[in-house]
């Protein structure tokens, strides 16, 4: 018995040392038993980490990001010979037929005032005959065009409503390369059939980008570049910072596949603010187009408001509304109130068309204007 006591003491001591270690290791490694209660402090910490700045920003802005459904009417010509070129022989007997066809397209927009102002891209609503806006809560409103700026690719729509959710604008002048950017819009809206906007996240990749478009020669100046995914249908949606402020309007992407390749561009929100101020000051004609040109002169399509402001006899055409000091436009003698009749030997029918001629200045500038009934030719050769 005396020999047994030391042995039992040794076993007891070993158990006292080993069992707690074994127990703690298995409790750490093995899966918890079903029904195990996780301490509230742990779940609170996890929930807090999930509800980060990006989640809060998306929650703040998403109610103000809408779907814009546009109906356009185009003329389609039917060739009874299927393009075989037999019109010269049988055209009198089987003439081509033209008919109107309604085409629907979809983009995104951002509500910027509780009384129904919505900003989107000009290319989203271009040539629209009818527009419908759907909010994330599934409310639908007919939209009217308040104004459009082809150069900045912006359009302002109006909804006859009140107490709408409105996004908070930020300041695009203090953006930092590398900070979070959140793209909110309605990509592939027709396929998803869902008014809830989609959220993608990236960073501000670059600032003050100037990009020349593939067709038409339009130059998109001073754009924000982001790698947040922007897909078809996102155009006109919001680019948001981590504080939940709108810093830009998503406009277009560079893509080889038609989807997002991580190179997207947005119009800075400060440009949007300026655009909205211009439209509101003009009274919102419904077809107001104000375009900045490479000449340093701003031109607009003539509307009743501008016609009255400048005392114009013309009801249609292009009028100069502003000329920047020290610009080429000032050098060649352009002045506010001048009606542009011809440019580079061609008749001018729209402010956008006039701007495209002078996005990139080269060679000789040849413009014919009407100034209070006097026709003047402005001829200037660039050095």
Most confident of 42-51, 263-272, 302-311: 263-272
Give the pLDDT of residue 81.
52
Closest C-alpha to 252, from 308, 333, 185, 332: 185
Note the pTM of the prediction, 2 decimals: 0.65
d(CA 282, CA 302): 11
User: Tokens at residue 1, please?
Assistant: 């018995």
Most confident of 78-92, 153-167, 349-363: 153-167
| Neighbouring residues of 70: CB distance < 8 A, sequence distance ≥ 6 | 104, 105, 106, 107, 124, 125, 128, 130, 131
Q: Over 50: is that where the pLDDT of 136 sits?
A: yes
pLDDT above 70 covers what percent of the chain? Answer: 73
Sign of the CA dihedral with 33 first, then 39, 40, and 41 last? negative
If one compares 220 and 265, the residue with the highest pLDDT of the two is 265
Give the pLDDT of residue 10.
40
If one compares 124 and 84, the residue with the highest pLDDT of the two is 124
d(CA 360, CA 357): 8
Q: Over 50: is that where the pLDDT of 351 sits?
A: yes
CA angle 78, 84, 89 (to 5 degrees): 90
d(CA 308, CA 122): 26
Active site residues: 123, 153, 235
User: Tokens at residue 213, please?
Assistant: 């478009």
The per-residue b/e assignment along 20-44, b for 16 or more CB within 10 angstroms, e otherwise, is eeeeeeeeeeeeeeeeeeeeeeeee
CA angle 49, 54, 57 (to 5 degrees): 125
3-state secondary structure of 202: strand
DSSP state, residue 303: -
Q: Over 70: is that where the pLDDT of 13 sits?
A: no
3-state secondary structure of 284: coil
Closest C-alpha to 168, from 253, 62, 83: 62
Give the pLDDT of residue 284.
54
d(CA 89, CA 122): 43
258: confidence class by pLDDT, cuts 50, 70, 90: low
DSSP string, 134-190: E-TTS-EEEEEEEEEETTTTEEEEEES-SS---PPB--GGG--TTSEEEEEE-TTHH
CA-to-CA dists, residue 19 to 9, 13, 16, angstroms: 15, 10, 6
d(CA 323, CA 308): 19
Q: Over 80: is that where the pLDDT of 87 sits?
A: no
């Amino acid at each position: 018995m005396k020999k047994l006591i030391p042995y039992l003491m040794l076993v007891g001591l070993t158990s006292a040392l080993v069992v707690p270690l074994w127990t703690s290791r298995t409790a750490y490694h093995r899966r918890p038993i079903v029904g195990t209660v996780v301490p509230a402090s742990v779940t609170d910490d996890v929930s807090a980490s999930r509800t980060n700045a990006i989640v809060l920003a998306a929650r703040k802005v998403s109610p103000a990001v809408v779907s814009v459904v546009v109906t356009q009417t185009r003329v389609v010509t039917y060739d009874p010979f299927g393009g075989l070129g037999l019109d010269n022989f049988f055209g009198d007997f089987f003439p081509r037929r033209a008919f109107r066809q309604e085409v629907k397209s979809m983009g995104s927009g951002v509500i910027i005032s509780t009384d129904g102002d919505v900003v989107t891209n000009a290319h989203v609503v271009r040539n629209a005959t009818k527009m419908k806006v759907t909010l994330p809560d599934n409310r639908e409103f007919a939209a009217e065009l308040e104004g459009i700026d082809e150069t900045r690719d912006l359009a302002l729509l109006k909804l006859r409503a009140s107490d709408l959710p409105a996004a908070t604008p930020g300041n695009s002048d203090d953006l930092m390369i590398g900070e979070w950017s959140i793209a909110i819009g309605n990509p592939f809206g027709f396929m998803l059939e869902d008014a809830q906007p989609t959220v993608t996240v990236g960073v501000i990749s670059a600032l003050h980008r100037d990009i020349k478009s593939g067709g038409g020669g339009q130059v998109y100046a001073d754009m924000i570049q982001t790698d947040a995914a922007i897909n078809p249908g996102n155009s006109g949606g919001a680019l948001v910072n981590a504080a939940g402020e709108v810093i830009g309007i998503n406009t277009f992407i560079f893509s080889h596949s038609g989807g997002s390749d991580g190179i997207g561009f947005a119009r800075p929100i400060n440009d949007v603010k300026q655009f909205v101020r211009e439209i509101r000051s003009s009274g919102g004609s419904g077809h107001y187009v104000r375009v900045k040109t490479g000449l340093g002169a701003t031109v607009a399509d003539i509307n009743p408001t501008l016609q009255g402001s400048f005392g114009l006899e013309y009801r249609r055409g292009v009028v100069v509304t502003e000329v920047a000091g020290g610009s080429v436009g000032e050098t060649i003698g352009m002045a506010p109130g001048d009606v542009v009749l011809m440019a580079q030997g061609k008749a001018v029918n729209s402010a956008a068309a006039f701007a495209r001629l002078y996005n990139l200045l080269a060679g000789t500038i040849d413009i014919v204007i009407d100034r209070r009934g006097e026709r003047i030719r402005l001829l200037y050769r660039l050095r």
